[in-house]
Structure 1
Amino acid sequence: MTDPILERWRLLLGEPGGACLGGGPLGPQAAARDAAMEWLYGRDEDLRRRGVRRGGTGGSVPTTVDWLDDITRLFPKETVERLQRDAIERYEIHDVVTDPAVLEHIEPNQALLRAVLRTKHLMSPHVLRLARRIVETVVRQLMDRLATEVRTAFSGAKARRPGRLRQARNFDVTRTLRANLGRYRPETGKVVIETPYFFTRTRRHLEQWQVILLVDQSGSMADSVIHSAVTAACLWGLPGVRTHLVAFDTEVVDLTSDVDDPVELLMKVQLGGGTDIARAAAYGAGLIDRPRRAIVALISDFYEGGDPHRLVRVVRGLVEQGTKVLGLAALDERAEPAYDREVGQRLADAGAFVGAMTPGELASFVAEHVGR
């Protein structure tokens, strides 16, 4: 019986890794997996130069549709999504999202949604209608997940009095530690908690706040654009919140009228192009009615193609008038920022919070301020 670990190494390396199996052949299923991987990674010149993949032992896979059917049958879901992502983003196999036959079979996921947003300008009206299914499915999945987080964040403001409902999210760390400091154990470095305290969450009359999301639609910000659209839709109509969504490159497009329909909104986004962040920030500043009741979230990688000095001036002006300014280098599930750190530091020096957030963290930030 073939050792599964050695078989994985053989599949990873391709034919040059045959020594992993002592020169023996792959079984039927493993050979089919090898052929599917060779169809994708066999086109990689760098891998061939390094002797990693150099021809597989399985039969050829003639079309993208066949390949997608094969990987769905042969690999677990997580691997299928990784293979699809590499096909689209690494090797730019656009027919994964522009071929009607493929679109009718493929299982929607976020990598495919990013690909649709990047390539929809290449699609005929018929193909665009099929691609819309991917947008609708993934947006619905994201909405279902995020709506729960938003409802939790807005379920009530924290009140500084004891609560009877003992839930982790209501745990009052400061009061509990203060009340139990007398039970500190030096030998263990721990405080023994005898009496835990919790907040209560009560609904208050909420004054209207504006939440203005300014979203960079350059190609590197695709995930943040998707999550911004979904976040805006979840915030739309909540008590005490008036939401704006503005997309920008070198131009500024106010998409607020479509915030309640994130699918339609995303179909209007045009990824790519230059970037004029200062222009977008100035537009956002012009939307503010009550500066001390406004949150501006500037979602960008901060690689400014416009005037960085103007950008810093606008942000400093917003902060000085009492507006909360967030400079978010990423708004997605991973919250892994990649951005121009020099410009980011200048914005932080001007008084903005600069970093990255998940959509749930942004919703919590908004809820904390709206509930005050």
Structure 2
Amino acid sequence: MTVERWRLVLGRYSSGQLGDPAAGSDQARMEAALDYLYGREYGGRGVRGSSGAGGETAELMPGGSGASAPALVEWLSEVRELFPRETAEIVERHALDRYGLTELITDPETLERLEPDEDLLKTLLALKGHLGEETLVVARRIIRQVVEELRRRLEHKVRVALSGRLNQHRHSPMKVAANFDPVGTIRRNLKHYDPGGQRLVLAEVLFFERNARRLPWDIIVCVDQSGSMAGSVIHSAVMAGILAGLPAFRVRLVVFDTSLVDLSEHVDDPVDVLMRVQLGGGTDIGKALRYCAQLVENPQRTVLVLVTDFCEGGPLPALVRAVRGLAEARVRLLGLAALDGSANPLYDKQIAGRLADEGMEIAALTPAQLASWLVEVTR
């Protein structure tokens, strides 16, 4: 590790052994930018603060007290100029999550400078109740930008999974890359092999036909909006919007904590859904499932996807009875401990196991995996 990196690791206590960088150099600016944030660690231990970004004396107290919005704008500009993008995003995330510098998102000018990503989206959803009218306009624009990018990434995968399986006995004139038949193409063009050039000339490229699917199923997506489920709430809203855009489905969307809200009329606009979500609070899964049971019109053509960490705050016997009743009615039940990009959840395994005994399949899936599961269960 170089001396410069050691200085960044050790912070203000590197001066005695490693000397001071030249005033105004990038190294000095990097150290000041990091100290502006991470010096709060020393403040929490009763250590006197030091100079922050721009030469100001920062109040190095937990929770970000003493940091004005203009100072944060200047600090953020320094971070994004001096550090690689991935490093800058980590520092921004620490500022929000570890040190409570909510001025980063409650000040419109500062919020405009943040890199839109899923972590920022989670923070905006958690704190949107504290945002002023001007900041909410900026926040909504950022939320839409992140959601549209997430939808763009997921929609193709989901549509391919739901459009049907490849028919490997028939070919189609439709040239879709995902349906490419490499073996059939080679066989069809063997007569065009050029021995001299040792190459295969492709006079005809083959693509499999994809079986059309008719899935006249109702999909009920029931989402736990407690704070720990923020990532799954985001992906559930986007996934429900994608499914709602497919004519073969009728999608209902319900979010809950100890109360519940039916957002089915907004399902085609994930941004509108997310702006209505209230992260946090307790959890009453049984109450939510009893409501969802009232939405079932054709049990044998209904899939209920429950997205939750299974940390039930209501009476467990009531939850078990609700699941048992839906299973006995032959509703297909899927309990997802996570529906996001990583599908690596923390959840109550004991309660999840109890519901599995009553007929609910339990999993943690990405949206694309959920689409594949829907294909399997709705054959």
Q: TM-score range with shorter-chain normalisation?
A: 0.7 to 0.9
Answer whether contact 1:319 1:325 (CA < 8 A) is retained: yes
User: Whose radius of gyration is greater, 1 or 2?
Assistant: 2
CA shift in 2, pair 1:54/1:367, >3 Å: farther
Matches within 5 A, 1:117-156: 117-156=125-164
Please say if 1:25 is aligned against 2:33: no
Measured against aligned partners, the alpha-carbon deviations of 1:26-67 in whole angstroms (never above 9, x if no partner) come to 362122122111111211259868x9x985797447611111
CA shift in 2, pair 1:206/1:219, >3 Å: same
Answer whether contact 1:31 1:57 (CA < 8 A) is retained: no
Please say if 1:7 is aligned against 2:4: yes
1:105 is displaced (CA, Å) by 2.7
Q: Distance in 1 between matches of 2:339 and 2:254?
A: 15
Aligned amino acid, residue 282 of structure 1: R
Aligned amino acid, residue 362 of structure 2: V
1:334 is displaced (CA, Å) by 1.3
Q: Distance in 2 between matches of 1:345 and 1:119?
A: 33
Aligned amino acid, residue 298 of structure 1: L
Q: Distance in 2 between matches of 1:281 and 1:330?
A: 18
Answer whether contact 1:218 1:272 (CA < 8 A) is retained: yes
SS in 2 for 1:44: helix
Q: Distance in 2 between matches of 1:42 and 1:56?
A: 9
CA shift in 2, pair 1:369/1:104, >3 Å: same
CA shift in 2, pair 1:363/1:13, >3 Å: farther
Q: Distance in 2 between matches of 1:150 and 1:118?
A: 28
1:25 is displaced (CA, Å) by 2.6
Aligned amino acid, residue 284 of structure 2: D
Q: Give the stretch that moved more between structures: 247-256 or 281-290.
A: 281-290
Gaps of 5+ in 1: 172-198
Number of residue pairs the alignment of both structures matches: 338
Q: Distance in 2 between matches of 1:136 and 1:305?
A: 32
The sequence identity of aligned pairs, in percent, is 45
Match of 1:354 in 2: 362
Q: Distance in 2 between matches of 1:138 and 1:127?
A: 17
2:214 pairs with 196, 206, 226, which one?
206
Answer whether contact 2:168 2:209 (CA < 8 A) is retained: no
Aligned amino acid, residue 108 of structure 1: P
Answer whether contact 1:232 1:245 (CA < 8 A) is retained: yes
Gaps of 5+ in 2: 59-67, 182-206
Answer whether contact 2:167 2:210 (CA < 8 A) is retained: yes
Match of 2:37 in 1: 40
Q: Give the stretch that moved more between structures: 124-133 or 214-223.
A: 124-133
Matches within 5 A, 1:1-372: 5-17=2-14, 22-26=17-21, 28-45=25-42, 59-60=55-56, 63-159=71-167, 161=169, 202-370=210-378, 372=379
- TM-score, normalised via structure 1 length: 0.82
Q: Distance in 2 between matches of 1:141 and 1:30?
A: 35
CA shift in 2, pair 1:284/1:46, >3 Å: farther
Q: Distance in 1 between matches of 2:353 and 2:303?
A: 19
Aligned amino acid, residue 44 of structure 1: E
